[in-house]
Structure 1
Amino acid sequence: MLKLFKKLKPYSFPLIIVVILLLIQTVTQLYLPTMLSKIVDKGIVGKDVSYIEKIGMYMILLTLLGGIATAIASFISSKIAMGFGRDLRRYVFTKAETFSLAEMDKVGTASLITRTTNDVTQVQQLLITILNMMIVAPLTCIAGIYMAIKTNANLSLILLVAMPVVILSILFVGKIGMPRFKAMQVKLDKINKILRENLTGIRVVRAFNKQNFEKERFEEANFDFTDNAIKVNKIISILMPLLMLLLNLTSVSIIWLGAYKINSGSMEVGNLMAFIQYVMQIMFSLVMISMLFIMIPRAAASADRINKVLAIEPTIVDTENSITEFNDKGTLEFKNVSFAFPGAENNALSNISFKVKPGETTAIIGGTGSGKSTILNLVSRFYDSTEGEILLNGTNIKNLTLDSLRKNIGFVPQKAVLFSGTIEENLKYGKPDATMDEMIHASKVAQSYDFILNKEDGFKSIVEQGGRNFSGGQKQRLSIARAIIRKPDVYMFDDSFSALDFKTDAKLRAALKGETANSAVLIVAQRINTIKDADNILVINEGKIVGQGKHKELLETCDVYKEIASSQLSKEELENE
């Protein structure tokens, strides 16, 4: 918690203002019982109306001053807390942006969402409470004890019994509640995970008629969270009645003992009234502190989860000697590259070597899970190879800045991803300063120009979240156009033509040849027709290259390739190859 609160340094000046205002509020509150005592003992007993009016006016002014100070302090503290929450969300989001896929897998998408939203909100609410109570409560408690002793030292002995009982009650509840508060955040992660999976996979859920199964899965997680929350609230619910009981017992004890003192003439009525108010202020300050103890365990658990994200050091970062310039353009080479996923016993890729020159197209084909997409992930440095070298334009990609590496890659993922906004904004994701002519050209090459023109607003047409208002083929073509508009040194297509019909696929690949004359092209595909014209075809099986060459050569020399071709092409097509 303290580690996070160190990030409040930019808010030092407004924090000082809040402290000063809260001091004013505390002083005014503490001085009011003394003035009330004077009104009773001097004004009422002495029947001095002018004195009552005079002191009463002072009390009104003090109350107004305290109220104004409280209002301004609350306003400033709210702004500080909201700003701090905004900063924390930015820190977590910015940190997550630096994570490789390994770190993303480690934390989990659902957990990152919870930490950026719910966990930050918990810390934010605690900060508001601290600013409004943590300063006032201790000051009121300490000053209240002093004023109570000053008013009547003998009666103050009651506090020696009441205060330790109150403090022990608060500590007891805090100790029991802390583990359950931590569990709540983990259980909330699980709810978010199930909800996210269900919403993103709603078509699959309905297609397999699994609504009831998903409902039961969600209800199990939801009831688990609810049961834990109820147990926490039961623990907390004990605290407030207990504190009120102690508060009332203390008041009764003071009135009972004070009555004897007034009767014996050793204490005045006004002093007893002032003493009761000071004790109430002391006890209520402890109640305020107890509210903090209720909030601190959950906020501490949230702060710990936020700190864990901020403490993760990305494994893939720029080095001090990272470079941004290249000797040549459009060349990609793998030299004896091997890779194993974190924690895996066996390599996902072993001894991969090939070279793609400018204007050449290298295709990768193989069975599911053979490691095809992993090769593309290594080029983009979503993961780093465990052995060997990957050279872009003659330079080891580990020696390049991530910015310069990825600026020179046009990547089209297996699952087409579009962002909410407009078609134009999605295309400019590839090149922010792209002109309309460049967008038109890229969309024509990607075979998306016609359906864009058919839209009422053309390039200004709205793209809904995830591109759900476009078909699978349209999304793929827009993703391809987004990559083309960059004019990168390396084009990477991860099974990016799977949603296209054969005619569109052929037209797109023909149009691409003119665009990639000075670039290396790497295509991962499942369809033989998509890759058979490639300059070089890599056949991957269990992470190893088991065949390399052109289409006709592989039909004769590679059994794995021949098996794939036989499953997709007719006997006549194979004989005519």
Structure 2
Amino acid sequence: MFKTLLRQIGDYKKDAILTPVFVVLEVIMEVIIPIMMAAIIDYGLADQSIGKVVAIGLAMIGAAMLALWFGVESGRTASSASSGFAMNLRQAMYERIQTFSFSNIDKFSTAGLVTRMTTDVSNVQQAFQMSIRICVRAPIMLVSAMVMTCLIHPRFALIFLVVIVCLAAVLALISSRANPTLRRVFHEYDELNARVQENVNGMRVVKSFVREEYETGRFEKESEKIRGLFVSAEKLLALNSPVMQFSMYSCILLISWMGAKMIIAGSLTEGQLMSMFTYVINILMSLMMVSMTFVMLIMSRASGERIAEVLAEEPDLYSVPHGVKEVPDGSIDFEQVGFAYPSNPGKEVLNDLTIHIRPGETIGILGGTGSAKSSFAALIPRLYDATRGEVRVGGIPVKDYDMASLRDNVAMVLQKNVLFSGTIKENLRWGKEDATDEEIVRACRLAQADEFIRDFPAGYDTRMERGGANVSGGQKQRLCIARALLKKPKILILDDSTSAVDTKTDALIRRAFREEIPDTTKIVIAQRISSIQDADRILVFDNGRMEAAGTHEELLGSCPVYREIYESQTKEGGDDESGK
């Protein structure tokens, strides 16, 4: 884990190295000051020499000023290094997530990834900053002060050694008990974030069903669970403070008692005892800082492990070296294809699927919920790999393509249409980055989106709210279709992407496809037979198998399932018309 995280220091390595250097110099100055103070008492005051007092005093001021400057510089470089480290961590995770396949993303929830890039990175950033300052300062100060006390009198060093061993044992016990609880805390944070995300996205549904109190109750339950876990962990971590206080005051009492006896016996001077108290404070403050850092490191360890999980995750799908960059045509071939999702490898959702689709052909896909229509479509641009069998596009196995080139020639309009914050033009140019205004307008006319766009005061420069919340479902679908058309793909996949569009607009979109992009292979997945009845072929899926294939008229005569769906939808349409 530590190697994975520390690789992300990158260009901020210089500041990360300078920080401990400045800290060491600061500690050296602070260790020298008590020696000078002892010299003032034992030589300057004892000899009643004002010259010695002034000279040593000026040296003390110089050492204090240097200590101050080194401290300021260590704070500056530590802040720079930790902030840069956090930025690199977020960037590395974001770049890694962009390489993930759908199966990789399925392993991490959306809320979990957000938590890792925010809360977890902040925890690691704080721990890193404390590590390069306090975790360096405290041990060096501890060792330096121990050496100085040993030089003054070895007995004092023995006291500190016993205290440090006892403290180390207590801290190790606290760590072993608290870390598992803190890991559970961050897992619950993921659940809480998922709850908030789901609730915000579905706010209209919550309000329309008057479920605000119910959702508030669920949120309170999750929050209470996190509070309980935090309290449990904090109870353990809180033991740290009283143990430290007990150790500190025990040391002070023992040194006062032993020092008084030594002064009477003549084996210790008053100046040495005064410097000893300073070193005692330094040692105990160092122990206190180690304790505070220890608590932070325990909390950040769980966060670091979660970040390392993302950085260490290897994409399941990758382009082969020197992959094919040109897709010859829009033909699609499935040869005895079986497919199971990585999350459930024992259950195939597609079974022995064999399909041959010619370039420019329009294929309708019909089937009930869970019949693997979308899974079939996802294998074409290689969003997943087939478990067995072979998928070919343009006569070439999809695994032999450069993935970016393959996906650039396959445009998909998914069931869940997504628009991003920005103007309509900016969203549409996802399909073609350098698309001209004329190309954008033409694509929108084909998708029957131009008319409603022009009704907006700002037209194509209208800003979309996050997720396209300021347009209707049908308008969002048409914008997504236009975005896909701008790619000028060899294969166009519409996955139930006209479900929110009225039948007249649906018919106009289909006619535009026939007339304007005849050479593009079109895969239309739909629930309404009216959306696919004029397709060259219609494939009927059921439980991951292709039950029947043919034209609309052929299936009416040969496929009972298709005929039943057609008659039920026709009857429903007739009832609607009679009701009018």
Instruction: Give the letter for the 1:28 counterpart.
Output: M
- The DSSP-based 3-state class of the residue aligned with 1:365 is strand
- The DSSP-based 3-state class of the residue aligned with 1:154 is helix
- Contact 2:361/2:521, CA 8 A, preserved across alignment: yes
CA distance in 1, matches of 2:570, 2:214: 40
Equivalent in the alignment of 2:578: none
Q: 1:8: how far off?
A: 3.0
- Contact 2:13/2:81, CA 8 A, preserved across alignment: no
Are 1:153 and 2:135 counterparts? no
- The DSSP-based 3-state class of the residue aligned with 2:404 is helix
- Greater shift in the superposed pair: 462-471 or 291-300: 291-300
Q: Structure 1 residues 572 and 279, CA, compared in 2 at 3 Å: closer, same or farther? A: closer
Instruction: Give the letter for the 1:412 counterpart.
Output: V
- Greater shift in the superposed pair: 193-202 or 282-291: 193-202
The aligned runs of 1:167-178 (5 Å cut-off) are 167-178=168-179
Q: Structure 1 residues 268 and 543, CA, compared in 2 at 3 Å: closer, same or farther? A: same
The aligned runs of 1:282-321 (5 Å cut-off) are 282-321=283-322
Q: Structure 1 residues 444 and 246, CA, compared in 2 at 3 Å: closer, same or farther? A: same
Instruction: Give the letter for the 1:566 counterpart.
Output: E
Equivalent in the alignment of 2:418: 417
Deviations 1:350-384 (A, max 9, x none): 22233333332101011111111111111122211
CA distance in 1, matches of 2:245, 2:390: 70
Equivalent in the alignment of 1:254: 255
Are 1:331 and 2:301 counterparts? no
- The DSSP-based 3-state class of the residue aligned with 1:447 is coil
CA distance in 2, matches of 1:443, 1:220: 47
Q: 1:321: how far off?
A: 4.7
The aligned runs of 1:422-461 (5 Å cut-off) are 422-461=423-462
- Contact 1:40/1:270, CA 8 A, preserved across alignment: yes
Equivalent in the alignment of 1:532: 533
Equivalent in the alignment of 2:487: 486
- Greater shift in the superposed pair: 55-64 or 341-350: 341-350
Q: 1:214: how far off?
A: 2.5
Q: Percent identity?
A: 35
Instruction: Give the letter for the 1:324 counterpart.
Output: K
Instruction: Give the letter for the 1:418 counterpart.
Output: L
- Contact 1:336/1:389, CA 8 A, preserved across alignment: yes
Equivalent in the alignment of 2:105: 104
Q: 1:205: how far off?
A: 2.9
> What are the ranges of 5 or more consecutive residues in structure 1 without an aligned counterpart?
none
- Greater shift in the superposed pair: 520-529 or 500-509: 500-509
- The DSSP-based 3-state class of the residue aligned with 1:135 is helix
Equivalent in the alignment of 1:559: 560
- Greater shift in the superposed pair: 520-529 or 372-381: 372-381
Q: Structure 1 residues 450 and 251, CA, compared in 2 at 3 Å: closer, same or farther? A: same
CA distance in 1, matches of 2:430, 2:74: 44
- Contact 2:96/2:311, CA 8 A, preserved across alignment: yes
CA distance in 2, matches of 1:481, 1:358: 21
Equivalent in the alignment of 1:391: 392
- Greater shift in the superposed pair: 221-230 or 283-292: 283-292
Equivalent in the alignment of 1:465: 466
- Greater shift in the superposed pair: 433-442 or 166-175: 166-175
Instruction: Give the letter for the 2:102 counterpart.
Output: L
- Contact 1:358/1:517, CA 8 A, preserved across alignment: no
CA distance in 2, matches of 1:278, 1:516: 83
CA distance in 1, matches of 2:60, 2:451: 78
Equivalent in the alignment of 1:275: 276
The aligned runs of 1:210-249 (5 Å cut-off) are 210-249=211-250
Instruction: Give the letter for the 1:325 counterpart.
Output: E
CA distance in 2, matches of 1:72, 1:511: 67
Paired positions, count: 573
Q: Structure 1 residues 132 and 160, CA, compared in 2 at 3 Å: closer, same or farther? A: closer
Deviations 1:415-457 (A, max 9, x none): 2110111111101111111111111111111111122222222
Q: Structure 1 residues 158 and 389, CA, compared in 2 at 3 Å: closer, same or farther? A: closer
RMSD (Å), alpha carbons:
1.9
- Contact 1:356/1:521, CA 8 A, preserved across alignment: no
CA distance in 2, matches of 1:77, 1:38: 35
Are 1:497 and 2:525 counterparts? no
Are 1:124 and 2:125 counterparts? yes
Q: Structure 1 residues 427 and 157, CA, compared in 2 at 3 Å: closer, same or farther? A: same
> What are the ranges of 5 or more consecutive residues in structure 2 without an aligned counterpart?
575-580
The aligned runs of 1:352-371 (5 Å cut-off) are 352-371=353-372
- Greater shift in the superposed pair: 548-557 or 84-93: 84-93
- Greater shift in the superposed pair: 296-305 or 463-472: 296-305
CA distance in 2, matches of 1:5, 1:191: 29
- Contact 1:95/1:309, CA 8 A, preserved across alignment: yes
Q: 1:150: how far off?
A: 1.1
Q: 1:172: how far off?
A: 2.5
- Contact 2:40/2:53, CA 8 A, preserved across alignment: yes
- Contact 2:39/2:271, CA 8 A, preserved across alignment: yes
Instruction: Give the letter for the 1:222 counterpart.
Output: S
- The DSSP-based 3-state class of the residue aligned with 1:548 is strand
CA distance in 1, matches of 2:337, 2:34: 80
Are 1:89 and 2:90 counterparts? yes
Equivalent in the alignment of 1:2: 2
CA distance in 2, matches of 1:569, 1:353: 31
- The DSSP-based 3-state class of the residue aligned with 2:548 is strand
Equivalent in the alignment of 1:198: 199
Instruction: Give the letter for the 1:557 counterpart.
Output: S
